[in-house]
Structure 1
Amino acid sequence: MSKPQIVLVPGAWHTPAAFTIIIKKLEDAGYTVYSRQLPSVGNPLPPEDLTQDIAALQELVTEAISSGNDVLVVPHSWSGIVAGSALGGFGKKQREEKGEKGGIIKIAFMAAFVVPEGVSLMDAIQHQIPDWWDIKGEHTHAKDPFIFYNDLPAEAQQYHMSQLQSHSFGTKKAKSTGACWKEIPSWYLLCEDDQAVPAFAQGLMVDRVKEMGGDVLVERIKSGHSPFLSQPDYVVDWIRRATGENPRLE
């Protein structure tokens, strides 16, 4: 039986290059991995809403499902809002009910925003713009490497900071258009030392998912916002377990 395909979704300001380490480890373990830069990142004409990002993720997941494959989607940070909006109807159960093969078996949110339909990122942060955002028109930039990479050495923090791109302010203000976690089982990796999305905020979002009937399994990790860089072996192990394997840092 073939292994599920894995779709990694980078968060705001980030590109798939941030996942280079875990992509290699997952491929070495026999997985096919998909990822792409969302249109709201590094775009000289930043989108005003989530439409382009939703379409891009749906296209990527459709490619991963292709000939009837099972798929695990792993959204990081802000892209949890895109995933929630984009993936309704893509679940394996929902596709089987329509006579279609394959689909998403689980969504593994990693320090991600998981919000109800009709809620924007700005709503989720109560419209309090963080002091580490640099807003220039409809472009936003992150300006403090410690926020994302506090558990990496200073040199690595600066390197990964140099790889970040602009992110559309409009997409941060745009309301989510779906909540796929109501119909697709999910896991959540809660990062306890996260400086970008504090652990208490992650916990509140998970609690809201449960209150609204979502099926979510929470695992906590002592890491900052980017465990795929600071603890890649742990993250790969977590992803593999989310697909149904049972390694524990083998």
Structure 2
Amino acid sequence: MSKPSILLVPGSFALPEFYEPVINAVAEKGYEIQGLHKPSVGPTSGKAREGVAPPTMYDDAAFIAGEVEKLANQGKDVILLAHSYGGVPVTQSTKGLSKKERQREGKEGGIVNLAYMTCLVPAVGQTAKDVLATVPQEQQLDLKIDENGWMYHDPVEASAALVFSDIPKEEGEAWIRKFPRHSSLSFIGEVTHAGYKDIPVSYLLCENDLCIPANVQRDGIDLVEKESGRKVDVTSIKADHCPMAAQPEVVIEWILNVAAKY
């Protein structure tokens, strides 16, 4: 039985290379795994995409769907692995791409699992901004928007304290300074398709997350279970919002455990 392919969808402000230690370790175990550079994320640290309007969540979802389709059309089973904001376009992206849907059409391959790592998981009609509004005010990130509609972190110190609370202050601030800019429009696109209704879900719940607190994560898990009628495969760890930075080995183990089931 061939191993599933894994597409890792980073969070907001996050480049695929931020996840390289995790990606490389999973690849060493024989899995095809790729990190995706979403349209809503700037090209490099500190930069926005020039000459284009800030992409929307729907642009991200269409991009993800295209990458899934490439693999599915090769007959491959796919795990969509999302982090943080990545959970929103991943949820939106799956229409017609689940393995079950494709089987009904006589096609091979397709999505077999949605793996959410401390993610925003909206209901139909909700936006990323809506879910973030449920976070206590003192834990909400202070994001500025430039004249072209791209968000950035300011002050860096405050963001680092919330996003990277498990690592030394200086390291967290260095991470934030590596962040590209992120499209403000991506946070206001309403989900119109809930992929978790039809596709099995795994969730890495990060108990120490200050950006998406554990209770907000649990609300997302409860939503999935209610809408799908299935239990979510939850793994709970003592980690902050970016466990790939502070505890990469735990993230690697979780991904391998999820993938081994397919």
TM, length-normalised to structure 2: 0.88
Which residue identity does 2:126 align to in structure 1?
Answer: V
Superposed CA offset, 1:181-227 (max 9, x none): 00000001110000111111111111122122253221111000111
CA positional deviation for 1:66: 3.4
Is the CA contact 2:39–2:55 (under 8 Å) kept in the aligned structure 1? no
Instruction: Please show how residues 172-211 of structure 1 align to structure 2 within 5 Å.
Output: 172-211=187-226
CA positional deviation for 1:167: 0.9
Query: Is 1:230 matched up with 2:246?
Result: yes
Identify the range of structure 1 (6-15 vs 161-170) with the bigger mean alpha-carbon deviation: 161-170
Superposed CA offset, 1:62-116 (max 9, x none): 2232310111110100010101111122111111111110111111100001111
Give 2:181's match in structure 1, choosing from 163, 166, 174.
166
Query: Who is 1:52 aligned against?
Result: 59
Is the CA contact 1:40–1:46 (under 8 Å) kept in the aligned structure 2? no
Secondary structure of the 1:3 match is coil
Structure 2 unmatched runs, 5+ = 43-48
Query: Who is 1:11 aligned against?
Result: 11
CA distance in 2, matches of 1:100, 1:120: 32
Secondary structure of the 1:212 match is helix
Query: Is 1:146 matched up with 2:156?
Result: no
CA distance in 1, matches of 2:134, 2:166: 27
Is the CA contact 1:88–1:183 (under 8 Å) kept in the aligned structure 2? no
Secondary structure of the 2:228 match is coil
CA positional deviation for 1:46: 4.2
Superposed CA offset, 1:136-190 (max 9, x none): 3411112321222111233431332122111111111111121000000000111
Taking a change above 3 Å as real, the CA distance of residues 28 and 57 of structure 1, as seen in their structure-2 partners, is: same
CA distance in 2, matches of 1:220, 1:127: 21
TM, length-normalised to structure 1: 0.92
Instruction: Please show how residues 40-189 of structure 1 align to structure 2 within 5 Å.
Output: 40-42=40-42, 43-44=49-50, 45-47=52-54, 49-126=56-133, 130-137=140-147, 138-142=149-153, 143=156, 144-189=159-204
CA distance in 2, matches of 1:52, 1:134: 22
Taking a change above 3 Å as real, the CA distance of residues 46 and 145 of structure 1, as seen in their structure-2 partners, is: farther
Which residue identity does 1:83 align to in structure 2?
Answer: V
Identify the range of structure 1 (14-23 vs 37-46) with the bigger mean alpha-carbon deviation: 37-46
Secondary structure of the 2:23 match is helix
Secondary structure of the 1:78 match is helix
Identify the range of structure 1 (3-12 vs 147-156) with the bigger mean alpha-carbon deviation: 147-156
CA distance in 1, matches of 2:229, 2:117: 16
CA distance in 1, matches of 2:253, 2:131: 30
Taking a change above 3 Å as real, the CA distance of residues 134 and 110 of structure 1, as seen in their structure-2 partners, is: same
Is the CA contact 1:227–1:235 (under 8 Å) kept in the aligned structure 2? yes
Taking a change above 3 Å as real, the CA distance of residues 3 and 136 of structure 1, as seen in their structure-2 partners, is: same
Superposed CA offset, 1:11-68 (max 9, x none): 1010101111001101111111122211111123343532211111011112232310
Identify the range of structure 1 (70-79 vs 135-144) with the bigger mean alpha-carbon deviation: 135-144
Structure 1 unmatched runs, 5+ = none
**Alignment RMSD, CA only?**
1.9
Is the CA contact 1:183–1:214 (under 8 Å) kept in the aligned structure 2? no
Which residue identity does 1:32 align to in structure 2?
Answer: E
